[in-house]
Structure 1
Amino acid sequence: MDEVAQAVWTGWISFGLVSMPVRLFPATREHLVQLHEVHAADGSRIRHRRVCEAEGREVDWQEVAKGYQTADGRTVVLREEDLEALPLPSRHVIEVLGFVPVDGLDPILFSRAYYAAPQQDLARRPYALLVAALTRAERAAVAKVTLCTRERLAAVWPRRETLVVQTLLWPEEVREPGGPAVSAPLTGQELELGSLLMAQLPEPDFSSLHDEYAAALQQLVTAKETGGELARLADPEPAVDLVAALEASLRTAADRKSTR
C-alpha cells in the first residue's frame, strides 16, 4: 500500500466481539486532464468566488459552514464540531452486519474503493484473521460506514493480503432499466454465431490498456494552435444484416488470431 496517500477515515472495524483500529486510504487514483473554465471571447480565466448573499462580500473558507433548511424555510447552521458530535455509530465503526459470497454482489452497486490498514500493532492479528477467514470462505463482509457526511453500505474483502472497503450504493439509488432494454427475437443461427465470436475474441490484457484521452486532447490543442484540422472518426455503421456482420467479424477475428 502506498503509505504516502493520506488517510481519509480513522476508526474501527468490528465483527462480533472482535474489533481493530484501522485507517482507510483511497485504493484508486484517476488520471484527470485538467481543463480550466475560461471566457470564450478572450481566453481569460473564470473565477468562482464565495459570496455571502446577505452581506454581498467574499468570505474566507474559515467562515464557511454547512446549512440545513427546515420545512418552514429557516436555515440551521452546522459547524464541523457539530457534525463531529453526530450520534451515528458508523462514523467511527465499520460494523460487520453479515457475510455474502463475493460473486453475489451486484457490480452496479459498487462506488469507491479504499484500503484498510491496521492502525496499531494490537490490530495486526485480528486484521490477519479477517483477511484469512474471508479468503478461505470466498465471502465478503457487508457493513455500514459514514464517509464525507454520508452513511454508506460497504463490502469488505481481501485483495493481496489487504482488506478493501468498497462503498456501495443503497438499493434505492439504483434505477431499473425500464424502457431502453427492449428485447427482440433472435434466430438460433444468430445466437450460435454470437457465441462463436465471443469465443474467438481474446481476453483483454488490462496492463496494456491506457487512457488515450490526454493524447487526443493534445492533438486537438496542437490543431487549434496551428490552424490545422483533425480527421473526424467515422461512426460505426449499424448492422442491417446481423448474420453477415457476425460472419465477417468471425473472419476478422480468425485472421488476427493467425497473425499473432
Structure 2
Amino acid sequence: MHTVWKGAISFGLVHVPVKMYTATEDKDIHFRSLHKDCGMPISYAKTCKHCDKEIGTEEIVKGYEYEKDKFVISTEEELESIKVAAEKTIKILDFVDLKDIDPLYFQKAYYLTPDMAGAGAYSLLLEAIKQTGKIGIAKISIRSKSSLAAIRVVDNCICMETMYYPDEIRSLSQVPNLPSQTVVNEKELGMAMALVEQLSEKFEPHKYTDDYRTALLELFDQKVAGKSMDVVTAPTAQGKSNVIDLLSALQASLDATNTKPDTSPPKRKRKSTAKSKDNVS
C-alpha cells in the first residue's frame, strides 16, 4: 500500500505517530471515448465558447460563481495565503458512541498504522477505544483541506473515516414528495415486520458482490479471448513532419509556378553594338 499521509493522533497529552493508507479502492469500470474509425482515444481540449479557440493553461484563472454567470476571480497568491495550515496532527476533540453517528456523515476510510517508535502509544489508544466502545471525533488537514473524522477500531487496526461537516448535509426539507406523516394498516405492518425478521441475518460483507461489474468483466474477457471485432488497438499517434510539410509546400509552389501563365510584358531586344560579319572588311 502507498502511504498517503504521515503525522500523529493526539488525545489529551498522548501523541501517537501514525502512517495513513487508503482503506478502500474504486473498482468502477471506466470507459474511454474512442474514434470509431481507428480506435484512437479521444482527447478533450479546453476551449472557450465565446472566443471559439483552444485555451492554454496560462490563460486559465479560477473564479467563484456567486450568481448565475457572475464570477469573482481569485489569484493563486490569494488562495495560497488563506489555505488551511497543513498540520500533521489528527486532533481528537471528543469521544462519542458509534450509534449516535448517522452513516450519512461518513465519506472515505483510511487505515492508520504506528510510525517510528509509536507502537506502544498506538496499542494504548487502540485498546482504550476497543474496550470503551467509543468513537473519537477529530479534525485533520489533508492536502490543505480541513476534514472532520471518526477514529475507530477495525479488528486490530485504528481506522479513520473522513466525515462531512453538518452544513454539507442537505436538509430533508429540500427533498421533494416526502410524506408529512406515515399512515399504515396495522395488519400489513405486522406482516411486513414478520418478513423483515425472516430475512434478518448476521452481516457478512463477503457474500455481496457487484453483479454488474462482474458481468461486464466477463463480457470483456470473452471478447478478448474470442478476438472479437470489438477488440481494437489504438494506432500510434504520429505528429506532422516538418520535412514532409516543407517538401509538400515546395512541390506545390513548383507546380503553381509551372502551370501559371506568363503574364509579364515581352522583353525588349537590346540593340547590338557588334558589327555584322557581312560588313567586315
TM-score by length of 2: 0.64
2:235 matched residue in structure 1: none
2:183 matched residue in structure 1: 185
2:270 matched residue in structure 1: none
Report how many residues are paired: 215
**1:139 is the counterpart of 2:134:** yes
Moved more, 207-216 or 155-164: 207-216
Q: Is the 8 A contact 1:69 1:76 kept in 2?
A: no
1:215 matched residue in structure 2: 214
2 CA distance for matches of 1:25 and 1:66? 33
Which of 11, 20, 23 aligns to 1:24? It is 20
Written as runs of structure 1 = structure 2, the 5 A alignment for 1:46-125 is: 46-49=42-45, 67=62, 73-78=72-77, 88=84, 91-121=87-117, 123-125=118-120
**1:11 is the counterpart of 2:7:** yes
Matched AA of 1:187: N
Deviation at 1:47, TM superposition (A): 1.0
Which of 149, 155, 160 aligns to 2:150? It is 155
Instruction: Tell me: CA distance 1:57–1:171, structure 2 relative to 1, closer, same or farther (3 Å).
Output: closer
1 CA distance for matches of 2:4 and 2:60? 20
Q: Which runs of 5+ in 1 are unaligned?
A: 228-260
Q: Secondary structure at the match of 2:8?
A: strand
1 CA distance for matches of 2:105 and 2:7? 24
Instruction: Tell me: CA distance 1:46–1:7, structure 2 relative to 1, closer, same or farther (3 Å).
Output: same
Q: Deviations over 1:33-89 (max 9, x none)?
A: 13112346775421135789x996756xxx89995779995541259xx95x87745
Larger Rg over CA atoms: 2
Query: What root-mean-square deviation, in Å, do the aligned CA atoms of Structure 1 and Structure 2 show?
Result: 3.6
Deviation at 1:177, TM superposition (A): 2.4
1 CA distance for matches of 2:141 and 2:61? 17
Deviation at 1:117, TM superposition (A): 1.1
Deviation at 1:92, TM superposition (A): 1.4
2 CA distance for matches of 1:189 and 1:114? 45
Instruction: Tell me: CA distance 1:185–1:145, structure 2 relative to 1, closer, same or farther (3 Å).
Output: same
**1:194 is the counterpart of 2:192:** yes
Instruction: Tell me: CA distance 1:78–1:24, structure 2 relative to 1, closer, same or farther (3 Å).
Output: farther
Q: Deviations over 1:230-259 (max 9, x none)?
A: xxxxxxxxxxxxxxxxxxxxxxxxxxxxxx
Deviation at 1:215, TM superposition (A): 3.4
Written as runs of structure 1 = structure 2, the 5 A alignment for 1:215-254 is: 215-217=214-216
TM-score by length of 1: 0.68
Q: Deviations over 1:125-183 (max 9, x none)?
A: 11111111111110011110112332110010111121111100001111122333214
Q: Deviations over 1:214-234 (max 9, x none)?
A: 3333577679x689xxxxxxx
Q: Is the 8 A contact 1:99 1:140 kept in 2?
A: yes
**1:175 is the counterpart of 2:170:** yes
Instruction: Tell me: CA distance 1:162–1:198, structure 2 relative to 1, closer, same or farther (3 Å).
Output: same
2 CA distance for matches of 1:17 and 1:88? 23
2 CA distance for matches of 1:206 and 1:70? 42
Q: Is the 8 A contact 2:148 2:163 kept in 1?
A: yes
Q: Which runs of 5+ in 2 are unaligned?
A: 231-281
Deviation at 1:91, TM superposition (A): 3.0
